[in-house]
């Protein structure tokens, strides 16, 4: 017998060789019908794979992230089977699950392929799914794997096999299709009830532009047809909320090929929005004891060699800037933290001085591949609301908790109330990716876990997601459409203070090393604005709206009165403008609605005679008439609330 520990801590005994499906069946038939896979000692397995020793087991369903991933990876195999049936001779690259479904990279040879072929493939996938074919795992030797794909004539699988050690290779077969795959997979194809192919794109084999470009087909599947319908509705709503579309309509930002890909230009209205965010956080930081600093956009190469950024990212970043001085090289700043370490070193520090908190809205530059650029969410130049706290070891947890409070304050003010805190730790199986000692990593990870627990945050733990210099707490926010975004982040770092030889004099009159906390509640201002636009569909909170009102005179006869109203309102530190175009009032109202301006003040003969304005609210319509002073008081009260 073996002992199986379930997530609730209970321990059950089963015969050696039992499967996760059999464990589920012993609990309830309903659970067994829904089990897609299982986590066995933290590793995801097929539900049909025998468990030979004592283990901790978590049964995975569609409601689990790992369950969905298994479902979608299995769907990629099912799509490949459909493609092979419809287009004999097709060759296959890789077909992983992704956050929104799956894709498979395919070589159709000389055959033309487009989205016009999607319907035929979708129908074939559902036909194959109804066969309820089992996904069968088979360990094979390297020689057997090479023989199989040589006979099949699939050079892409052979290219993958050559990097795999003998004894680690497995095939998976469902129906008439066999693939090279580590797995795991769902029990059978019958779980797939609905499919939609979403997109087709090109992708170089192994990301190498010198190699053949394959056809990448994206798809998504669901265990219920109704869930696909809901998903497609969400996709349509997401298109309406796309920050690139709204950013253009609301005149917030633009891109220029002459300026360069991935380098956003902030237009006047976008700049007003951005400055409001900056001022909002700056006020909160001053109250929390931060000091504002400014650092250059470039730094000497040696700065990033010292920090470790050059070794980790130098080859993939913007290349060095050479000066007339022989051998002298500078880099566009990829991070603010090395600069802040040098600011810390400008004078001796005592234990009584700590914590020291430096904050900067610093623009940094990273060379993202052109295919990965996407609006404001993936750019080459972006501004971080960066701050670095230097504290004594005994202050780390308390400072970390204060930063959590600041992040929660920011989220609350902007309506992000659905989030999970992700504790991102080092991958214990691959420590070469990180710098620093095991002791320092242990101290840093413990501080984060304890601080998050004491603040009562809902947390998940992800191994391998830490920064190269330290673990972190990432805030994964769900927007109004239920999509997950990584926004704020807090990181504990024992390593950069070592590399920069930072010191303070302790109460024992000896030199000690401070601990560094990196934090950015917004993360990237560009990315944060993109997420905010899509979250609120461009209907910004009133305090943040670039234009809080617009005055709409019915004709040019009332422009002088409109200007008087605007002057009285602008003197009250609220933002608005007059629409002086020679357009009918109906057109002006429609345009103001499209631009999502919160309030419209309509002025005509009656309003001028009574010294009032007729008020409309975006999305709600007519609110009656009032004086400019009454509107100003109402607006200020609403902003304050």
- The residues carrying an active-site annotation are 337, 366, 384, 386, 388, 472, 518
Q: What is the rounded distance in angstroms from the CA atom of residue 27 to the CA atom of residue 33?
A: 11
Integer angstrom CA distances of residue 527 from 120, 341, 420: 38, 26, 18
Look up residue 278 and give its two tokens: 């900056």
**Which of 241, 186, 206 has the alpha carbon at shortest distance from 61?**
186
Look up residue 468 and give its two tokens: 């190269």
Helical spans, DSSP H, in 20-112: 20-27, 29-34, 65-86
Q: What is the rounded distance in angstroms from the CA atom of residue 138 to the CA atom of residue 462?
A: 29
Three-state SS annotation for 76-96:
HHHHHHHHHHHCCCCEECCCC
Contact 516, 497 (CB under 8 A): yes
Q: What is the rounded distance in angstroms from the CA atom of residue 607 to the CA atom of residue 611?
A: 6
Contact 473, 483 (CB under 8 A): no
382, β-bridge pairs: 364
Contact 194, 228 (CB under 8 A): yes
Contact 489, 328 (CB under 8 A): no
Helical spans, DSSP H, in 225-379: 225-241, 243-249, 268-287, 301-307, 309-313, 337-344
Q: What is the rounded distance in angstroms from the CA atom of residue 356 to the CA atom of residue 262?
A: 34
92: left (phi over 0), alpha (psi -120 to 50) or beta: beta
Parallel, antiparallel, or unpaired for β 298-300 and 329-332? antiparallel
41: left (phi over 0), alpha (psi -120 to 50) or beta: left
Contact 333, 299 (CB under 8 A): yes
Q: Return the SS3 of 474.
A: strand
């Amino acid at each position: 017998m073996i002992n199986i520990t379930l997530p609730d801590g209970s321990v059950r005994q089963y015969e050696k060789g039992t499967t996760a499906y059999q464990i589920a069946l012993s609990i309830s038939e309903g659970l067994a019908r829904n089990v897609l896979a299982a986590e066995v000692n933290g590793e995801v397995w097929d539900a049909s794979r025998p468990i030979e020793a004592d283990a901790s087991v978590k049964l995975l369903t569609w409601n689990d992230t790992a369950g969905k991933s298994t479902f979608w990876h299995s769907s990629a195999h099912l799509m490949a089977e459909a493609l092979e049936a419809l287009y004999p001779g097709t060759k296959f690259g890789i077909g992983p699950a992704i956050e929104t479904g799956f894709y498979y990279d395919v070589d159709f040879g000389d055959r033309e392929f487009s989205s016009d072929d999607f319907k035929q493939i979708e129908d074939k996938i559902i036909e194959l799914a109804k066969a309820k074919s089992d996904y069968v795992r088979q360990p094979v030797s390297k020689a057997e794997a090479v023989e199989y794909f040589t006979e099949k004539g699939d050079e892409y699988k052979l290219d993958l096999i050559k990097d795999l050690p003998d004894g680690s290779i497995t095939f998976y077969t469902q129906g008439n299709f066999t693939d090279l795959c580590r797995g795991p997979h769902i029990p059978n194809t019958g779980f797939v009830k609905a499919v939609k192919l979403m997109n087709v794109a090109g992708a170089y084999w192994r990301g190498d532009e010198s190699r053949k470009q394959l056809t990448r087909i994206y798809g998504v599947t669901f265990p219920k047809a109704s869930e696909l319908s809901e998903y497609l509705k969400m996709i349509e709503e997401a298109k309406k909320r796309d920050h690139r579309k709204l950013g253009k309509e609301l005149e917030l930002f633009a891109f220029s090929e002459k300026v360069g890909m991935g380098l956003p230009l902030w237009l006047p209205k976008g700049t007003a929005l951005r400055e409001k965010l900056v001022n909002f956080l700056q006020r909160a930081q001053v109250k929390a004891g931060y000091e504002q600093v400014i650092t250059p956009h470039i730094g000497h190469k040696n700065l990033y060699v010292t920090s470790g950024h050059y070794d980790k990212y130098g080859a993939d970043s913007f290349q060095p800037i050479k000066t007339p001085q022989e051998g002298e090289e500078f880099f566009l700043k990829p991070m603010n933290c090395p600069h802040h370490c040098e600011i810390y070193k400008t004078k001796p520090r005592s234990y009584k001085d700590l914590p020291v908190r430096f904050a900067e809205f610093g623009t940094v530059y990273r060379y993202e591949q052109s295919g990965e650029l996407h609006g404001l969410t993936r750019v080459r130049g972006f501004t971080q609301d960066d701050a670095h706290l230097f504290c004594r070891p005994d202050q780390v947890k308390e400072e970390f908790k204060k930063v959590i409070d600041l992040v929660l304050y920011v989220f609350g003010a902007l309506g992000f109330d659905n989030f999970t805190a992700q504790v991102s730790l080092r991958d214990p199986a691959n420590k070469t990716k990180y710098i620093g000692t095991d002791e320092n990593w242990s101290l840093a990870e413990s501080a984060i876990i304890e601080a998050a627990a004491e603040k009562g945050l809902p947390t998940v733990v992800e191994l391998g997601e830490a920064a190269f210099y330290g673990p972190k707490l990432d805030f994964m926010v769900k927007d109004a459409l239920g999509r997950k975004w990584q926004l704020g982040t807090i990181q504990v770092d024992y390593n950069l203070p070592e590399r920069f030889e930072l010191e303070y004099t302790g109460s024992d009159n000896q030199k000690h090393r401070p601990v560094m906390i990196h934090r950015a509640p917004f993360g990237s201002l560009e990315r944060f604005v993109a997420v905010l636009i899509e979250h609120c569909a461009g209907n910004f909170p009133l305090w943040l709206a670039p234009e809080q009102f617009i005055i709409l005179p019915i004709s040019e006869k009332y422009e002088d009165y409109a200007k008087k109203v605007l002057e009285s309102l602008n003197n009250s530190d609220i933002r608005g403008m007059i629409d002086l175009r020679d357009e009918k009032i109906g057109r002006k109202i429609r345009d103001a609605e499209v631009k999502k301006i919160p309030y419209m003040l309509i002025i005509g003969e009656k309003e001028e005679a009574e010294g009032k304005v007729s008020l409309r609210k975006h999305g709600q319509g007519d609110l009656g008439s009032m004086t400019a002073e009454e509107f100003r008081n109402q607006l200020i009260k609403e902003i304050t609330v």
